Amino acid sequence: MHRENIENTTVELNSLTKRFNDGSYIVEKIYQRDDEAWSKTQARQHLDDIIKWKPTVSIHLDSRPKRNNTVAIMDGQQRLTWWTKFLNNEFTLGTISDWEGHSIKRKTFEELDREVQEHILTMPIPVVIYKDDIMSDEDMAEKYLSINAGTPLNNAEKRKAMNKAMTETWATILKICPIFNNNLGEPKYISKSPDHEAYRSILDFVYQNFLKETAYVSRDAYSLEKQTLKANNISIEDEVVNRMMDSLNYVAESLEPYTKYTEHGEREQLKSLGIDNVGKGLLKKNHVRAFTFLHDDLVRRNYDLEPVKKKFGDFIIKTIRRNEERFKEWNRNDSGKSQFELHNYLLNGFEPVLKEKQERKLKSRIARNKRKSSVEV
């Protein structure tokens, strides 16, 4: 019977943070939760605890030979991140008053006595290192899930651990699609930051609709997990993924004229537009899913949407502004029926704009043909 090759050891805190900062330990998205999930208060409490020699949870590292001499942090990025911030004097300790006669309350690292600094830097941290090349990526994902069994992962984090290919594909989309880009300060399009798992959930929902080419799909956790496990060969080159990016980009471009109102000095203007998440971007999470799928459905119906891009953005803002009770209810409800009703509501709202444009083009063509015929006669 095969025995897993796992090393249990201790490493000094200073050594761990150095390896984390010099790239010896890499952050692999399939294993990671939001590295800002801890508040400063939680980080202070954690540091107070380890200074008092209270046990800390082990750091888990993936060091299998198949990784080609790289070591991935399976669990512990938050601790490493906050330890580094403390050593860089970015926040203070908590309310613990002293350590062995040394005053430490509310002090940064550089303000501590040398003996306390040495105590922190040489603190032995338990580390579990997985070295067994027989363990597959799927085995490691299961390990990651079991490690976090005591502090449950949310549904998006579980899905991220289930499918490395999907996690990497979503990471690429989040990086290159403008609708997710709010690196310049205030969010332009969506209220959540790009490091938040909510962004990944948007892509899970969008993929669900685009794959099945219907709005009648449930957004429950079981359906999404089942979808995640099936899409083990997904890549940025997939036809469905390319359709998703086309629609995400179209929605972003259609709303570009409105993004000026999300800038700090202009945010109050959003109130006049009826947008209730002022300062947090133009759209909420389910708005992105609903309007990107509307675009995809209209494209598959052979409508030419490029000439009406501004009208599409206006339609999005007007729909959110009206915020009818049924619109709000469908957005809140995860059932397939509600999502189907929401899509039909949007489709029936915008399709007349396209048909009107087609009719005008047809009338214009007929008029040109008549003029041409009269000239020839």
pTM for the full model? 0.61
| pLDDT for the residue numbered 86 | 93
| Tokens, residue 208 | 């669900």
Mean pLDDT of all residues in 346-359: 84
pLDDT above 70 covers what percent of the chain?
73
pLDDT band at 245 (very low <50, low <70, confident <90, very high): very high
3-state secondary structure of 367: helix
pLDDT in tens, 68-118: 677 888 888 888 988 999 999 998 988 777 888 888 888 999 999 999 999
- Cβ within 8 Å of residue 209, ≥6 positions away: 215, 217, 289, 293, 296, 339
Contact in structure between 308 and 357 (CB atoms under 8 Å): yes
pLDDT in tens, 11-61: 899 999 999 998 888 877 666 655 446 778 888 888 887 787 665 678 888
3-state secondary structure of 95: coil
| pLDDT for the residue numbered 359 | 64
pLDDT in tens, 161-217: 677 789 889 989 988 999 986 555 556 788 765 555 678 889 999 999 999 999 988
Q: Is the pLDDT of residue 136 over 70?
A: no
> Which has the minimum average pLDDT: 212-221, 249-258, 353-362?
353-362
Q: Is the pLDDT of residue 127 over 70?
A: yes
| pLDDT for the residue numbered 314 | 93
- Cβ within 8 Å of residue 367, ≥6 positions away: none
User: Phi-psi bin for 55: left (phi > 0), alpha (psi -120 to 50), beta?
Assistant: beta
| pLDDT for the residue numbered 2 | 42
CA-nearest of 122, 6, 27, 138 to 76 is 27
How far apart, in Å, do the first and last CA atoms of the chain sit?
Answer: 94
| pLDDT for the residue numbered 279 | 46
Please give the helix or strand (H or E) that residue 127 lies within, else none: strand 124-130
